[in-house]
């Protein structure tokens, strides 16, 4: 099987396992966890250890800003 | 604003209504199918009962005592003779019937399963999933059990016959069981091995006594279920037949009454608000007369609303139903009437149910009943609630006026005297306001209405205007005519992007059309072949300010679609600047001043030289340079192909054409907006348009058929090129026929041949084009237009002068028509160019009939494609708008929807405005350039800090009328 997470077009998906980091993000945007964009647990780009309720940090390449950072909440 | 509601809506909940509530809120019971009596008075307890509200002026509502206009109307009710099904709930009925027990009404699933679904419902709500999915799963689960786990009753399958009939289906023993068994025991005449089956054998096989088998065969004993099964197994036949037991609405109602509250909660229904038995109608609410007003025709006859017609039907059938039942009519007739009543109630609610013929008006037109009033584009939601008609708007044909600024719009005087702007009279504008009023409604800057502080509106008339003017005081409101400089909103449909609605300044003019500068045609996508546009006068100070700052045409020069200017020179403007700059012609003083007469330049710079007669001359580029800011530096390639160099605001070399000043990314316009200001760009575009018009008029510009003709020698060359191609194609076909054609990788031989032929013919047309091009002179107007990008392309010219070329349908040579050939004029399997739509003639030379036919085939495809594309993209746009309408960029840079969910953490992932960043690939973001510019500006201010602090920001967005006469300070804008 091909591991899509290694594909060059798939941006890096980083699991935020440190709760304080998540809190920091939520505080920065003044939102609840459920206000984050969602990502399905069975999404092949996710790291294997991601569980529903976890927050994923995605670092994408951007033409204008070099990298763009997006957070997503893992859902079932 | 005086109608402010004292209450705030906290929430809305939807549910079913208890029939008792219907009765309670009903103003009257309706029993008579008639509306008005012979004297024209509404009949008591009829469909127009005055207790249901009033529509005729002067009458008093018998329920609330108010008059028509203030009385909203009141519901009545009809007591249905027998319960009927509400069509809106047929699916829910089916689900409930399938999920609950026919005997005890409880859900046919275990307590644990119920608990699970209850949990899933809660969870679905939490994570915003569709609770309908849970409901479906629950029904599927409940349907699995063949017997009720609560009372043990065997469950029947429910069959739903659309729209409103339900059956219980059970497999029961066929009435002809004995015959079926006997037949199966007979030997098969077609099969010699089959000797049939003796009763003794059958008895052994089915484990029954011989006597019982004989009884069964004689039809004296109906086999029980187990016996039936074993008999079926022994004989290999099916002894059952489907028994359809129709469920009448009353049966369903009784069934639903038994469903306990806690069981339907599992299905997501709140029994407090909606008991399932309320789905079955026993009382029908009669909408107030105000919802179905009757209209009086010219001949005094009344014409009733469709809903009233439908209610008349319902009452009539209801009446007949009751009479028949009381008279003890046979069951068959009662059932027929019941079905008829069901039909009428169904069509009263929805007249577009599939499988049911729609109820029709006497004229044959289908009735517009409740559901049709709400649904679709013209329905209550999309037509009346989201889409509104507005006052203070005007619509008429548009026509061009190059003397207007691009910010302006010419408005016919008769529109200006009809459309008004509300001004609040204060101590400071009282004199002005009085003047407007005293001018009356007909003299142009006049007024049509005034409003006193007590809220009373007075019409200004020719008679009372003088007197009224003296009465006007501070605190009044005056609706004055539109005058020059007012800001209005101008729009052309389809409003596909934000530049379809822009704010303009009014210029009142004679005649009947809206006038606009031709440079605003691209954003509106307007032309003057009969296009109409809409105009809206803004009524509040806030709206006017907002429109002026955000929506004015000059603020929309850059398009957010591709980040470059969408407003700029078009068509003749571009031809004009091309003629002015391409060969850099010389102009005398008079000519030069004439070219610049509509610009702010009224003094010529030093002459570029003197001609033979000793008269000074100015070159076209010098004249053009007068419109540029003094510190502009630019270098780019023009459409004509040369390099344009601008240094210190001087056009040093190059042709000014589409790439320089055109709409859709003209470099100079784009740079002016981005590096100078919208105002500077507006001035430039206005001036370039007028200079170009002067220039093109100076040179004269026209085009005729002879401009596309080439000398006979060239014609011969074209013919030769085409003949050559034909020869090569013949060669190709020959090789193909001999089976010697090598196929290209991944293609069949046939495909290869087609590709090669297409290629050859393409080359033939190109060489024809080149030949034609060689014979065109540089000053040929068609060439000027094509080179400068004003209109048309070299390909168009090729087709006119050289050869039209291959016609294609679906990207292939034309292959359709008759069997193995395109037209009856050709041999079957003719692969030649002319048999498959190659047009060797030019448009000017004229097409042969066959060529014309092929050309029409290709042309038709293009037409169909455009038609399909517009409808497809229109719907796509509607869906996109609905999906994105609630997204909003927040002050923290995120994009969120109305519920606060983050959609983008940084607007567009980079926080940049698409208006300011060009999206075309050849426009890399010049980060260094931007940084340099800013640093330079910073240093400047440090050196002259005093001057910097003392400097005044230029006023923004003033009307052109409020601007100082001279434009000199514009240069120091940025």
**Shortest Cα distance from A9 to chain B (angstroms)?**
17
CA distance readout (Å), B592 to B659, B774, B878: 24, 33, 52
What's the pLDDT at B966? Answer: 45
Residue B926 has pLDDT above 90, yes or no: no
> How far is Cα B491 from Cα B501, in angstroms, rounded to an integer?
4
CB neighbour class for B167 (10 Å; exposed up to 12, middle 13-18, buried from 19) = middle
Asked whether B258 and B234 are in contact (CB, 8 A), the reply is no
Residue B226 has pLDDT above 90, yes or no: no
Q: What is the ipTM of this complex?
A: 0.91
Residues in B touching A65 (Cβ below 8 Å):
906, 909-912
Give the end of a domain, one of B819, B845, B864: B864
> How far is Cα B761 from Cα B772, in angstroms, rounded to an integer?
16
Please give the DSSP secondary-structure letter assigned to residue B741.
P
What is the enclosing helix (H) or strand (E) of B668?
Answer: helix B667-671
> How far is Cα B693 from Cα B688, in angstroms, rounded to an integer?
8
User: pLDDT tens digits, residue range B662-688?
Assistant: 988 888 999 899 888 899 999 999 999
> How far is Cα B216 from Cα B212, in angstroms, rounded to an integer?
6
Residues in B touching A75 (Cβ below 8 Å):
127
B119, B900, B914, B917, best to mutate vs chain A, most A CBs in 10 Å = B900
B912 with A64: Cβ contact below 8 A = yes
Pairing type for strands B650-653 and B643-647 reads antiparallel
Any chain A CB within 8 A of the CB of B198? no
Residues in B touching A69 (Cβ below 8 Å):
905
Please give the DSSP secondary-structure letter assigned to residue B432.
H
**Shortest Cα distance from B938 to chain A (angstroms)?**
24
A62 with B909: Cβ contact below 8 A = yes
Any chain A CB within 8 A of the CB of B877? no
* Residue B91 located in a structural domain: no
Residue B190 has pLDDT above 80, yes or no: no
CA of A26: which chain B residue's CA is closest? B902
Of B896, B902, B910, the CB nearest to A64: B910
Least confident of B170-179, B645-654, B747-756: B170-179
What's the pLDDT at B961? Answer: 58
User: pLDDT tens digits, residue range B354-369?
Assistant: 888 888 888 888 888 8
User: pLDDT tens digits, residue range B26-85?
Assistant: 888 888 888 888 877 778 888 888 888 888 777 788 888 888 778 888 999 999 888 999
User: pLDDT tens digits, residue range B405-437?
Assistant: 999 999 999 999 999 999 899 999 898 999 999
What's the pLDDT at B971? Answer: 42
> How far is Cα B236 from Cα B244, in angstroms, rounded to an integer?
24
B354 SS3 class: coil
What's the pLDDT at B683? Answer: 93
> How far is Cα B491 from Cα B595, in angstroms, rounded to an integer?
32
* Residue B156 located in a structural domain: no
pLDDT band at B304 (very low <50, low <70, confident <90, very high): confident
Of B896, B901, B910, the CB nearest to A68: B910
> How far is Cα B605 from Cα B618, in angstroms, rounded to an integer?
9
CA distance readout (Å), B34 to B47, B245, B338, B365: 6, 38, 22, 22
Nearest to residue B813, comparing CAs of B849, B861, B854, B764? B854
Mean pLDDT for all residues in chain B: 85
What the block records as the tokens of B798 is 């090729």
A35 with B901: Cβ contact below 8 A = yes
**Shortest Cα distance from B903 to chain A (angstroms)?**
6
CA of B894: which chain A residue's CA is closest? A29
B911 with A65: Cβ contact below 8 A = yes
Any chain A CB within 8 A of the CB of B912? yes
Which CATH number covers residue B820?
A: 1.10.132.30
Of B127, B894, B911, the CB nearest to A29: B894
**Residue B536 β-bridge partners:** B393, B489
What's the pLDDT at B973? Answer: 41
B127 with A34: Cβ contact below 8 A = yes
* Residue B380 located in a structural domain: no
CA dihedral B506, B510, B515, B517 (to 10 degrees): -80
Residue B174 has pLDDT above 60, yes or no: yes
Nearest to residue B789, comparing CAs of B634, B581, B569? B569
What the block records as the tokens of B557 is 């020069």
Q: Quick one: residue B264, left, alpha or beta (phi over 0 = left, psi -120 to 50 = alpha)?
A: alpha
B889, B901, B920, best to mutate vs chain A, most A CBs in 10 Å = B901
What's the pLDDT at B194? Answer: 66
CA distance readout (Å), B545 to A37, B478, B483, B764: 37, 19, 17, 61
**Shortest Cα distance from B418 to chain A (angstroms)?**
51
**Shortest Cα distance from A76 to chain B (angstroms)?**
10
Q: Give the list of residues 6+ apart from residue B707 with CB closer than 8 angstroms, or none.
A: B780, B781, B782
Nearest to residue B715, comparing CAs of B793, B771, B799, B760? B771
Query: SS3 for B22-83, per residue?
Result: HHHHCCCECCCCCCECCCCCECCCCCCCHHHCCCCCCCECCCCCCEECCECCCCEEEEEEEE
Give the end of a domain, one of B842, B864, B886: B864
Any chain A CB within 8 A of the CB of B911? yes
Residues in A touching B901 (Cβ below 8 Å):
34-37
What's the pLDDT at B967? Answer: 46
CA distance readout (Å), A53 to A33, B120, B894, B905: 8, 17, 22, 19
A36 with B900: Cβ contact below 8 A = no
B904, B908, B909, B925, best to mutate vs chain A, most A CBs in 10 Å = B909
* Residue in this structure with the two tokens 């016959």, named with its chain if needed: B161
Pairing type for strands B240-247 and B586-587 reads unpaired
* Residue B536 located in a structural domain: no
Residues of A with CB under 8 A from a CB of B: 29-31, 34-37, 60, 62-65, 68-71, 75-76
Asked whether B255 and B105 are in contact (CB, 8 A), the reply is yes
Instruction: Give me the domain span that covers residue B203.
Output: 175-238
Residues in A touching B120 (Cβ below 8 Å):
none
Residues in A touching B896 (Cβ below 8 Å):
35
Give the end of a domain, one of B500, B516, B532: B516
Task: Delineate the domains of chain A, giving CATH numbers in brackets.
Answer: 4-75 (3.90.940.20)
pLDDT (mean) for B866-877: 88
CA of A35: which chain B residue's CA is closest? B901
Nearest to residue B906, comparing CAs of B922, B890, B924? B890
CA dihedral B49, B53, B59, B64 (to 10 degrees): 110
Residues in A touching B927 (Cβ below 8 Å):
none
CA distance readout (Å), B417 to B177, B444, B520, B765: 91, 6, 25, 59
* C-alpha neighbours within 13 Å on the C-beta side of residue B8: 1
> How far is Cα A50 from Cα A52, in angstroms, rounded to an integer?
7
CA of B910: which chain A residue's CA is closest? A65
Q: Give the list of residues 6+ apart from residue B633 with CB closer than 8 angstroms, or none.
A: B646, B647, B648
**Shortest Cα distance from A42 to chain B (angstroms)?**
17
A22, A27, A29, A32, best to mutate vs chain B, most B CBs in 10 Å = A29
Any chain A CB within 8 A of the CB of B905? yes
pLDDT (mean) for B273-292: 90
Residue B171 has pLDDT above 80, yes or no: no
**Shortest Cα distance from A60 to chain B (angstroms)?**
9
A68 with B912: Cβ contact below 8 A = no
Please give the DSSP secondary-structure letter assigned to residue B243.
E
pLDDT (mean) for B883-888: 90
B902 with A65: Cβ contact below 8 A = no
Residue B923 has pLDDT above 70, yes or no: no
* Touching A: B residues 113-152, CB under 8 Å: 127
* Residue B223 located in a structural domain: yes
> How far is Cα B491 from Cα B534, in angstroms, rounded to an integer?
5
User: pLDDT tens digits, residue range B370-388?
Assistant: 999 998 888 888 888 887 7
Residue B154 has pLDDT above 70, yes or no: yes
Which CATH number covers residue B226?
A: 1.10.260.40
> How far is Cα B275 from Cα B264, in angstroms, rounded to an integer?
9
Residues in A touching B912 (Cβ below 8 Å):
64-65
Which CATH number covers residue B430?
A: 3.30.1490.180
Residue B790 has pLDDT above 50, yes or no: yes
Q: What angle do CA B597, B603, B604 make, to 5 degrees?
A: 95
What the block records as the tokens of A28 is 């920065």
Count up the domains in chain B and report the number. 3
Asked whether B268 and B131 are in contact (CB, 8 A), the reply is yes
* Residue B53 located in a structural domain: no
* Residue B354 located in a structural domain: no
A68 with B917: Cβ contact below 8 A = no
Residues in B touching A31 (Cβ below 8 Å):
900, 902
B909 with A75: Cβ contact below 8 A = no
How would DSSP label each residue in B183-231? Answer: HHHSPPTT-TT-----HHHHHHHHT--HHHHHHHHTTSS---HHHHHHH
* Residue B563 located in a structural domain: no
B895, B902, B916, best to mutate vs chain A, most A CBs in 10 Å = B902
Asked whether B318 and B341 are in contact (CB, 8 A), the reply is yes
Of A35, A36, A65, the CB nearest to B910: A65
A65 with B892: Cβ contact below 8 A = no
Burial A39-71 (b: 16+ CB within 10 A, else e): beeebebbeeebeeebbbbbeeeeeeeeebbbb
Q: What angle do CA B934, B662, B785 make, to 5 degrees?
A: 150
B127 with A71: Cβ contact below 8 A = no
């Amino acid at each position: 099987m091909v591991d899509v997470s290694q594909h060059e077009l798939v941006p890096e998906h980083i699991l935020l396992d440190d709760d304080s980091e998540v809190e920091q993000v939520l505080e920065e945007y003044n939102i609840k966890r459920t206000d984050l964009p969602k990502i399905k647990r069975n999404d092949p780009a996710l790291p294997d250890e991601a569980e529903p309720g976890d927050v994923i940090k995605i670092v994408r390449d951007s033409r204008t800003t070099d990298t763009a950072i997006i957070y997503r909440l893992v859902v079932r | 604003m005086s109608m402010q509601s004292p209450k705030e809506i906290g929430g809305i909940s939807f549910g079913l209504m208890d029939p008792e509530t219907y009765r309670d809120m009903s103003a009257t019971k309706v029993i008579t199918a008639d509306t008005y009596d012979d004297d024209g008075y509404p009949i008591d307890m009829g469909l127009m009962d005055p207790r249901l509200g009033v529509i005729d002026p002067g009458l008093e509502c018998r329920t609330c005592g108010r008059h028509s206009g203030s009385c909203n109307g009141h519901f009545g009710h009809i007591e249905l003779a027998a319960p009927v099904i509400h069509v809106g709930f047929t699916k829910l009925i089916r689900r409930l019937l399938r999920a609950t027990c026919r005997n005890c009404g409880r859900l046919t699933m275990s307590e644990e399963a119920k608990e699970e679904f209850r949990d899933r419902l809660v969870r679905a709500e939490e994570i915003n999933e569709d609770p309908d999915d849970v409901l479906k799963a629950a029904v599927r689960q409940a349907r699995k059990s063949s017997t009720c786990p609560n009372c043990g009753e065997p469950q029947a399958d429910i069959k739903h016959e659309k729209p409103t009939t339900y059956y219980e289906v059970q497999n029961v023993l066929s009435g002809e069981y004995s015959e079926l068994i006997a037949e199966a025991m007979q030997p098969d005449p077609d099969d010699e091995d089959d000797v049939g089956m003796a009763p003794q054998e059958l008895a052994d096989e089915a484990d029954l006594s011989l006597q019982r088998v004989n009884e069964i065969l004689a039809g004296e004993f109906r086999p029980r279920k187990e016996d039936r099964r074993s008999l079926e197994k022994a004989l290999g036949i099916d002894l059952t037949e489907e028994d359809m037991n129709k469920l009448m609405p009353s049966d369903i109602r009784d069934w639903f009454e038994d469903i306990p509250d806690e069981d339907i909660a599992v299905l997501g229904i709140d029994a407090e608000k909606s008991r399932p038995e309320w789905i079955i109608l026993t009382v029908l609410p009669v909408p107030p007369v105000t919802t179905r007003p009757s209209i009086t025709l010219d001949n005094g006859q009344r014409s009733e609303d469709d809903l009233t017609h439908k209610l008349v039907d319902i009452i009539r059938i209801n009446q007949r139903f009751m009479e028949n039942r009381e008279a003890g009519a046979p069951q068959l007739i009662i059932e027929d009437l019941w079905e008829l009543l069901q039909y009428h109630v169904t069509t009263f609610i929805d007249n577009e149910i599939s499988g049911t013929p729609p109820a029709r008006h006497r004229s044959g037109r289908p009735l517009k009943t409740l559901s049709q009033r709400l649904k679709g584009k013209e329905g209550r939601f999309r037509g009346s609630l989201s889409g509104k008609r507005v006052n203070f708007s005007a619509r008429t044909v548009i026509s061009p006026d190059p003397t207007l600024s691009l910010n302006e719009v010419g408005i016919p005087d008769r529109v200006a005297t009809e459309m008004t702007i509300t001004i609040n009279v204060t101590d400071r504008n009282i004199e002005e306001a009085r003047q407007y009023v005293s001018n009356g409604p007909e003299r142009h800057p006049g007024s049509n209405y005034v409003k006193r502080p007590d809220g009373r509106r007075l019409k200004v008339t020719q008679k009372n205007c003088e007197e009224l003017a003296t009465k006007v005081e501070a605190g009044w409101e005056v609706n004055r005519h539109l005058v020059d400089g007012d800001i209005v909103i101008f729009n052309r449909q389809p409003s596909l992007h934000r530049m379809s609605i822009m704010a303009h300044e009014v210029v009142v003019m004679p005649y009947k059309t809206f006038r606009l500068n031709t440079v605003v045609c691209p954003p509106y996508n307007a032309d003057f072949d009969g296009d109409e546009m809409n105009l809206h006068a803004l009524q509040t100070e806030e709206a006017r300010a907002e429109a002026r700052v955000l929506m004015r045409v000059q603020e929309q020069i850059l398009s957010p679609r591709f980040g470059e200017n969408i407003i700029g020179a078009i068509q003749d403007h571009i031809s004009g600047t091309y003629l002015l700059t391409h060969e850099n012609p010389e102009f005398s003083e008079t000519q030069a001043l004439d070219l610049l007469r509509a610009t702010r330049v009224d003094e010529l710079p030093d002459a570029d030289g003197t001609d033979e007669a000793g008269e000074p001359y100015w070159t076209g580029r010098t004249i053009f340079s007068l419109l540029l800011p003094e510190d502009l530096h630019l270098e780019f390639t023009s459409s004509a192909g040369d390099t344009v160099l601008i240094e210190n605001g001087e056009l040093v070399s190059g042709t000014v054409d589409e790439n320089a000043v055109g709409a859709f990314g003209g470099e100079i316009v784009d740079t002016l907006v981005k590096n100078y200001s919208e105002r500077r760009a507006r001035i430039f575009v206005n001036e370039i348009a007028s200079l170009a018009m002067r220039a093109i008029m100076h040179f004269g510009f026209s085009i005729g058929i002879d401009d596309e003709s080439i000398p006979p020698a060239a014609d011969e060359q074209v013919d030769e090129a085409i003949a050559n191609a034909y020869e090569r194609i013949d060669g190709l076909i020959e090789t193909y026929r001999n089976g010697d054609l090598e196929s290209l990788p991944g293609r069949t031989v046939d495909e290869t041949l087609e590709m090669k032929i297409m290629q050859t013919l393409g080359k033939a047309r190109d060489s024809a084009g080149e030949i034609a091009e060689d014979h065109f002179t540089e000053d040929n107007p068609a060439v000027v237009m094509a080179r400068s990008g004003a209109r048309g392309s070299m390909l168009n010219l090729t087709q006119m002068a050289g050869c039209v070329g291959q016609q294609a349908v679906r990207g292939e040579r034309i292959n359709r028509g008759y069997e193995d050939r395109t037209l009856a004029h050709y041999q079957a399997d003719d692969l030649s160019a002319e048999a498959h739509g190659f047009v060797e003639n030019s448009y000017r030379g004229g097409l042969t009939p066959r060529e014309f036919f092929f050309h029409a085939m290709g042309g038709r495809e293009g037409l169909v494609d455009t038609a399909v594309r517009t409808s497809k993209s229109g719907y796509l746009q509607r869906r996109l708008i609905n999906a994105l309408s609630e997204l909003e960029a927040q002050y923290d840079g995120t994009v969120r929807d109305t519920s606060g969910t983050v959609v983008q953490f940084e607007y567009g992932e980079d926080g940049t405005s698409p208006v300011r960043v060009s999206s075309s690939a050849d426009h890399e973001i010049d980060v260094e350039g931007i940084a340099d510019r800013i640093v330079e500006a910073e240093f400047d201010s440090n050196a002259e800090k005093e001057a910097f602090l003392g400097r005044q920001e230029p006023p923004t967005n003033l009307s052109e009328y409020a601007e100082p006469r001279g434009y000199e300070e514009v240069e120091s804008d940025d």
